[in-house]
Amino acid sequence: MIVGAIGDDFTGSSDLGLMLSAGGMRTVQYVGVPEEAAAHDVDAGIVALKTRSVPVAEAVAQSRAALRWLKAQGARTILFKYCSTFDSTREGNIGPVIDALRAELGDKGAVIVCPAFPATGRRVFMGHLFVNDRLLSESGMENHPLTPMTDPDIRRWLGYQTACGVGHLSLSALRSGKGDATLAAEAAAGRPLVVCDAIEDSDLFALGALAANVNLITGGSGIALGIPQTLGFSAATAPAWRGEAARPALCLSGSCSAMTRRQIEAHRIAGGAQRLLNVEDVVEGRTDFDALIEWASKASGLPLIYSSDDPAQVLAWQQRYGTGRVASAVEDAFGTLARLAVAAGIGRLISAGGETSGAVVGALGIDTLEIGPAIDPGVPALRATGRDLVIALKSGNFGAQDFFYKAAKVLAA
């Protein structure tokens, strides 16, 4: 293993997997920290954790354990993947995990911090994060159920979370070849966590080249765009892929993002079969999961079970039951639905939402996921190793309007 990555959620880890695999690296996504050694032919290993919204100490402990395992497999380029919208609270978990990984690596130099992913509209300029033509804090992410992003200045937000100083690599310094010197100067000045501007793929390739002299590279999947090339890999031909055309598909969505809600509407208009998971029933333990799976197996049109709702309704449930209680009850519900669906013969599973997908994959007892072709930027088709089960884990914000039907088709191919 050459590249070792730690992902703070499951959709994000598959997004990174797609980037590394498209760059020509044989990439495997592990579900949690494996107990066994990695296979010898793995170039890039991603340990997918569900640490984005857990207490800081838990995120730190799991990330440290992942790093130790990756180092033991020989990984020498270490990545920490978080969300391209920097999903976190003022308390963490991105800063504390970076601090811990840096300590574990004995790193005294600069750390690259860059959530930019231009292919999906995420750009960092003057240390501020944009989603398409909006600042992060006006992009809809200010309404996220667990990690509302109310400040677009990544330097300031990270500053709340870390014990280290936060520096900046400007676009002009990067483009004028002063990247290495700026990273070194920021680390020497006591600002080793360097937020890097990047607005085009060419900037990410430039950061990829700087990564050769950096011990810890952190960001969205865009940060890995230039890494395979820096390590001597060249763009891959399409990965070998075998879909599950003969087996039925089911979509599950716990993402409340604006994009997912548009995709749900498009699925309905296209003739998809839909059921809204009633949050009150879920929290009160009254949901009839078997009936839902029975309905899905008889549905005409692609079935979708969703809890996704608009910000006002999400807030109302959170005020009634508490944010953590609603989130974990709904996540557990999707885990149960996934387990029953696969037992009932579903072979193509499409899950929308990072936390949701963590619960789904966890409930299915999957150890590793192999990366297949792209469905949309940042969302690959995945196969559960050794099983007749293919999956798509969609980030809340990713995917085109027709994502659900498109994913079912790619998973069948």
| Residues forming the site for ligand LB5GJZVW (CB under 6 A) | 9, 11-12, 15, 83-85, 87, 220-221, 353-354, 378, 395-397
By CB under 6 A, residue 153 contacts ligand ADP: no
Residue 12 or residue 118: which is nearer to ligand LB5GJZVW going by CB?
Answer: 12
The residue with tokens 């520096």 is: 167
In contact, 254 and 361? CB cutoff 8 Å: no
Please choose, out of 57-65, 132-140, 353-361, 380-388, the segment that lies near ligand ADP by the rule CB under 6 A. Answer: 353-361
The dihedral through the CA atoms of 14, 62, 368, 340 has a sign that is: negative
- Min dist. Cβ of residue 257 to ligand ADP (A): 4
Question: Which span (149-157, 158-166, 177-185, 349-357) binds ligand ADP, by CB under 6 A?
Answer: 349-357
* Closer residue to ligand LB5GJZVW (CB): 287 or 397: 397
Neighbours of 116 (CB within 10 A): 29
Q: Please, which of residues 377-406 interact with ligand ADP by CB under 6 A?
A: 395-396
Q: Is 145 in the site for ligand ADP (CB under 6 A)?
A: yes
Collect all residues with Cβ–Cβ distance below 8 Å to 92 and sequence separation of at least 6: 56, 59, 161
Question: Does the protein bind ligand ADP through residue 84 (CB under 6 A)?
Answer: no
Positive or negative, the CA dihedral 226, 232, 235, 239 is negative
Q: Segment near ligand ADP (CB under 6 A), from 21-29, 92-100, 116-124, 140-148?
A: 140-148
Q: How far is the CB of 412 from ligand ADP (least distance, A)?
A: 24
Q: How far is the CB of 399 from ligand ADP (least distance, A)?
A: 11
CA distances from residue 136 to 149, 197, 281, 375 in whole angstroms, order as listed: 7, 15, 33, 25
Look up tokens 């999903």; give the residue. Answer: 87
User: In terms of CB distance, is 8 or 43 closer to ligand ADP?
Assistant: 8
93: preceding bond cis by omega (within 30 degrees)? yes
User: From the CB of 374, what's the least distance to ligand LB5GJZVW, in Å?
Assistant: 13
* Residue 160 Rama label (left phi>0; alpha psi -120 to 50; beta): alpha
| Residue among 263, 322, 255 nearest 87 (CA) | 255
Closest CA to 207 of 98, 116, 122: 116
Phi-psi region at 19: left, alpha or beta (left = phi > 0; alpha = psi -120 to 50)? alpha
Which of 356, 360, 370, 403: binder of ligand ADP (CB under 6 A)? 356
Interacting partner of 84 out of ligand ADP, ligand LB5GJZVW, none (Cβ under 5 to 8 A depending on kind): ligand LB5GJZVW
- CA–CA distance, 137 with 153 (Å, rounded to integer): 9
The footprint of ligand ADP on residues 248-277 (CB under 6 A) is 254-257, 260
Shortest Cβ contact with ligand ADP: which residue? 396
Closest to ligand LB5GJZVW by CB, 248 vs 353, is: 353
Q: What six digits make up the tokens of 121? A: 């509209």
Using CB under 6 A as the binding rule, the residues of this chain from 54 to 73 that contact ligand ADP are none
